Structure 1
C-alpha cells in the first residue's frame, strides 16, 4: 500500500504536468469604430473596438478557443498566422481555402492546440483587404519552468507595424480591380496604431515606449502592413535579434531590422543611456524604382524614466528606401539556434523538388479602360478562388472544385530575371499540388522580371520551413545546391524572395489537410499570386485530418 506521504509526494510531482496545459477562451467581436488619432471620420473594422486588436496570450501546449462574432457588413475570417494547426486545418482561417467565411450576424469558434511552438506570431483577417485594420498579436509563452535561451528581459512589449489609408481599403482595391491597374498606396505607416506626424493631421502624438536606465526589454515586433516591407530602428540603440516567426535564432546585434508583412522578430533592447528621448522609426524598403510605395516614416518615442516631456528627441535617419545592402545583411545574419533543446530538423533529402516562378503578368480585360489588367501568378497560373472551400472539397471528395495538376515547374523555361518574353499572359485556374503524408519538399521560389522584379514575401500555411539558400539571378540547379545551408538555416513561416533572385525552402509534409501558399503583399494575393498544397492522410488517426466542427460556416 502506498503511504499517504508517498502519495502526497507523487501528487506534488505530477501536479505541474496536470495543470501545465490549459484551455484559453477568447471572444472576438468584429465591430466598427472610429479613431480620432487617425485623422479620419470613417469607422474601421476592428476586434472588440481596438486597433490594433487584442493580444492573444497562451502557453506552449495550450488549447485555444476563440469565438468570432461578425457584427459588420463584410464576410470575415481570422487566420492565426504561423500556428501549425496540426490536424486542425478547419481553424486555419483563409477564406474559401479552409473555410467558408463568417457571414454578417454569424459566429464561429476557432479551436486549436499550440504544439511545439513558442514566441511571437500574429492573427489577422484573411479575406478581402480587411487585415489592414483587423489584426493583432499572438504571444506564446514557453511552458512553465522553461526559460528563454537568452537572459530574461525586465519587460516585454508588443510593437505592431502597419499601414493606414484615409479612404476605405475595400474601395481602394475595388477601384484598382476595375481599372486593371495598381491600387493607391497607403497614406501612412503606423506603430501600435499611431501614425506619428502626418501632413494635414493634427493628431501628432505617437506611441511612447517607457524604459528605465540599465534594464533590458524584449520588443515583439510584428509587421501587419498590407503591402510593404519595413525597416525598424531606434536612435542611438543597438538591437539583439533572438527570434523570428516564433523560432529562436542565434543572437546577433543590429541597428536596423528588416521585417516583411506577416513576419515577426523578437529583439532585446538594453536601455543603455542615462536619460532622454529617442526616435523610433518604421520606414519602407523597396529596391524596385518602378514600384510605388508609401514613403511616409512612422515614428514613436523611446522615453527614459525621469526625462522631461519637453526634452529634445534624439533623431535617427532611416535607411534609404532602396537600401538593398542593409536588407541583405540582415537576412544573411539569420541562423536557427540549432541547440540540443531546439534543433534545426532540416530535411537532408527531398521527395519533391519544385521550381516556382513568382511574379506579375498582364491579361486581357474587356471592361478595363486600357483593355488589360495586371495579374500575378506562380508558374504562370493566376489562382482563381473557389466558391466552395478547398478543405471541404478535399475532405468530402467534392468534385469540380479544384484540380491537382499544379505544375512543378514553369510551363515554359526562359531567362526569368532577364529580357521579358513577348507574351505576359497567364492562365487562370484553381490548381493544387498533392503531397503524401511525410513527404519532404524543396521549393525554389524564383522571382521574375515580368513588368518589374520585386521582393515577394511568401507565406506557407500549416508548416514552418527552412530557408536553405538564396541568390541573385536565375537559380542554377547544378551549382547552387552545393552552397545550401543544411545545418542551421533560418526556420520561419514567411520568407522574402529577393528582387531579381531566388530563395530555396525545405519542409516536411507532416500535417494533413489543404495549406495555402501565397505572397503576403495583399495586392499580389488579390491578383492571383497564390496556390495550395493538399497533404493526404497518413496511417491511423494521429496522421489524419480531424472531421470538421459542427459550427463550420457555410458558403
Structure 2
C-alpha cells in the first residue's frame, strides 16, 4: 500500500476556544464476567471521559498520575509545533511518574471527526482510553445532513487477569501473551459471554431519526468486523477526515482506527430489537480471541416517554458477520474508502517524491538468555523487526535528545533504507531468522518528500500489521499482495482521491510529513510488541518528524502469499 503524509497547515494557530480538562489516573475496582479486579481509570470512569473540541480550539489536559505505573497518553491528534503533546514514551516525552503531573497543550488543526486518547506505555491502555470528539468550526456544517444524535461506540478487550502480568510473562518467555477473555463495546462484554447479560450496552433510537455513530477500535490486538442486524450504515469519516460517503453492511476497523457512520433508523417502529456485533478479522492461524461481542439496538415506541418506551420481550435479530479470515470482505470495505477531494475538502496528494525507501516488516528471533526457558522457535525469543533491525527502546526521550543536541549514545542515524539482504519476502524464508538490535533512525532534510514501501514478510508466517503514524496523517495510495514490483506497481497508485488516515490495518502504508517535532509509527497490535525492540524512527533535520513502529508476534500463515504494503510519505513546504 502507498501513503502520502503532508502538512495541511503551516502553523498550529489557535482560532477558537481554549478547553481545559483534568485527568486523574487512579485505580478502581470494576466487575466484568462475574469477577472484580482493580484497573487503571481516568477520573474513575471506564471507558474514560471524552474530550470535546472544535476545529481550531486549543486543548489543555492536565494529567495527574496517582497510580503505581508510569504513564503517557494521546493518539491521533495532528501535532503542529506541539510534538511534546503526542504521548509516546521515550519518543516525544518521558513517562509521567507516580505522584507527578504533565500538561498536554495542543491546538486542533485541520481535523474534524473522531479520535481517541489512550495510555501509551506497556499494556495500560487495555483500560485507559476514551474518545476525542472534534466538531467543525462554529457555523461550519457537516458535509452531510445533521444527525439527530451522536454516539461514541468504543471497542475494547477485557482480561480477567492483570494485563501488566500478562505482557510481563510474554516478554520474559519470548512467546505470545494470553489472549483476552472478552471483547467489549463501551466497556461492556454483552450477553454472549457467560455471566455478562447485565453488562450490555444498549443504543436506544427513535424511528425515522439519523444517528452519527463514532466507532473507535481501542482493542489491544484485534482488527474487527462490525455489523448491525437488518441495518446498513453510511460511512462518512475515517480518522477525523471526511470521505466520499458509501453504504456498508459490515465495517472493518483496525486497532487505533476510528470510523464515523450514519445510522438511519427505520421509519416506523419495527416490533423487534437488533444485535450490534463485532468479532475479529485475522489473516493467520495463530491464537486470537475468536469470540463475538454484542450490544443491543432498541427502538422507542411511538408516543411514549424515553423511560417507558422500550419493550423487553421483542424478537432479537442477529447480523451475519464475515468469517474471521474473510480477506475479500476486508478488501471490499477498504477499497471503497476515498478522500472527498472537493473544493472544500481537497486531497493535496504530493505528485513528486524526493526519496524512496523499502522497508520489510515481520518477525524474527533473538537468542534466549542463559538459564532461561523461552517459547519462541527452537527455544528462541520472537522479535519484531524492520529491515531486520529490532528497535532498542532508549531511556532518554528522542525528542529531548535531539533538541538538546545530546543524541550521542541515545540513537544513531544509520537505519538501512533498503533490506541489507534481499530475499523472496513472501516465499521460502531465509535460514537465519536472527535480527540485529539498535536504536536507529533515518534522518532527512526538512521538507523532504518520501515514498516508503512497506513489504510484509513470511519469515515466521505472514500476518497483518496495523500501523499508526503519530502526530500526522498520510495518504494511502496503493496496496497489493505478494512481492512489491517497483517497475509496474507505481502505475497503479491513486494520486487523485486516496484515503487520508493516521492508522492503517489491512495492507499497510503510511506517509510522513516534515514538522518540527518527533513522532512515531506504532504497530497497533500490542501482541506484536513482544519485545521492547520492535520499533523504528524516521527523522527530519531542522527539527525532527520521526516514525516509530512496533511489530509483531508470529502467526502461522494460512498462505505463503504475504501482503505487499507500500507507503508513500510526501510533504510540501510550509506555506
Scaled by the length of structure 2, what TM-score is found?
A: 0.87
2:397 alignment counterpart = 389
1:39-438 → structure 2 map (5 Å cutoff): 39-79=34-74, 81-197=75-191, 199-272=193-266, 274-275=269-270, 276-289=272-285, 291-306=286-301, 307-366=310-369, 367-369=372-374, 371-398=379-406, 399-438=408-447
2:492 alignment counterpart = 483
Query: 1:465 & 1:145 partners in 2: Cα distance?
Result: 28
C-alpha deviations, 1:142-195, integer Å up to 9, x for none?
Answer: 000001111111111000001111101110011111221111111100000000
Aligned residue among 442, 463, 470 for 2:472: 463
What is the deviation of 1:199?
4.4
2:481 alignment counterpart = 472
What is the deviation of 1:383?
0.8
Which is further off, 515-524 or 240-249? 515-524
Report SS of the residue matched to 1:456.
coil
Distance 1:204 1:322, change over 3 A: farther
What is the deviation of 1:37?
3.8
Query: 1:476 & 1:517 partners in 2: Cα distance?
Result: 24
2:569 alignment counterpart = none
Query: 1:457 & 1:135 partners in 2: Cα distance?
Result: 18
C-alpha deviations, 1:28-47, integer Å up to 9, x for none?
Answer: 00011112245322111111
Distance 1:215 1:101, change over 3 A: same
Q: CA RMSD in A?
A: 1.8
What is the deviation of 1:197?
2.8
Query: 1:506 & 1:94 partners in 2: Cα distance?
Result: 18
What is the deviation of 1:19?
11
2:528 alignment counterpart = 524
- Determine if contact 1:537/1:544 at 8 Å carries over to the other structure: no
What is the deviation of 1:198?
5.2
2:571 alignment counterpart = none
Report SS of the residue matched to 2:505.
strand
Number of aligned residues: 517
2:555 alignment counterpart = none
Query: 1:214 & 1:529 partners in 2: Cα distance?
Result: 49
Structure in which a larger fraction of residues adopt helix: 1
- Determine if contact 2:382/2:530 at 8 Å carries over to the other structure: no
Query: 1:147 & 1:202 partners in 2: Cα distance?
Result: 40
Query: 2:33 & 2:105 partners in 1: Cα distance?
Result: 34
Which is further off, 415-424 or 528-537? 528-537
1:495 aligns with 2:490: no
Distance 1:508 1:410, change over 3 A: same
Query: 1:544 & 1:75 partners in 2: Cα distance?
Result: 25
- Determine if contact 1:518/1:529 at 8 Å carries over to the other structure: no
What is the deviation of 1:526?
4.0
- Determine if contact 2:389/2:437 at 8 Å carries over to the other structure: yes
C-alpha deviations, 1:409-439, integer Å up to 9, x for none?
Answer: 1111111111111011111111111122221
C-alpha deviations, 1:327-371, integer Å up to 9, x for none?
Answer: 010010100011101100111111121111111111111223453
- Determine if contact 2:364/2:383 at 8 Å carries over to the other structure: yes
Distance 1:409 1:39, change over 3 A: farther
Query: 1:504 & 1:200 partners in 2: Cα distance?
Result: 39
C-alpha deviations, 1:364-397, integer Å up to 9, x for none?
Answer: 1122345310111111111111000100000001
Which structure has more RCO (C-alpha within 8 Å, separation ≥ 6)?
2
2:5 alignment counterpart = none
Structure 1 gap ranges (5+): 1-17, 546-555
Query: 2:280 & 2:441 partners in 1: Cα distance?
Result: 33
Distance 1:505 1:99, change over 3 A: closer
What is the deviation of 1:544?
11
Report SS of the residue matched to 2:19.
strand
1:10 alignment counterpart = none
Report SS of the residue matched to 2:335.
helix
C-alpha deviations, 1:103-131, integer Å up to 9, x for none?
Answer: 11110101111111111001010001101
C-alpha deviations, 1:211-235, integer Å up to 9, x for none?
Answer: 1011110100000000110011000
Distance 1:450 1:19, change over 3 A: closer
What is the deviation of 1:507?
4.2
Aligned residue among 444, 449, 463 for 1:440: 449
Query: 2:410 & 2:14 partners in 1: Cα distance?
Result: 44
Which is further off, 191-200 or 382-391? 191-200
1:8 alignment counterpart = none
What is the deviation of 1:505?
3.8
Which is further off, 511-520 or 116-125? 511-520
Report SS of the residue matched to 1:382.
strand
Query: 2:60 & 2:315 partners in 1: Cα distance?
Result: 46
What is the deviation of 1:202?
4.7
Report SS of the residue matched to 1:252.
strand
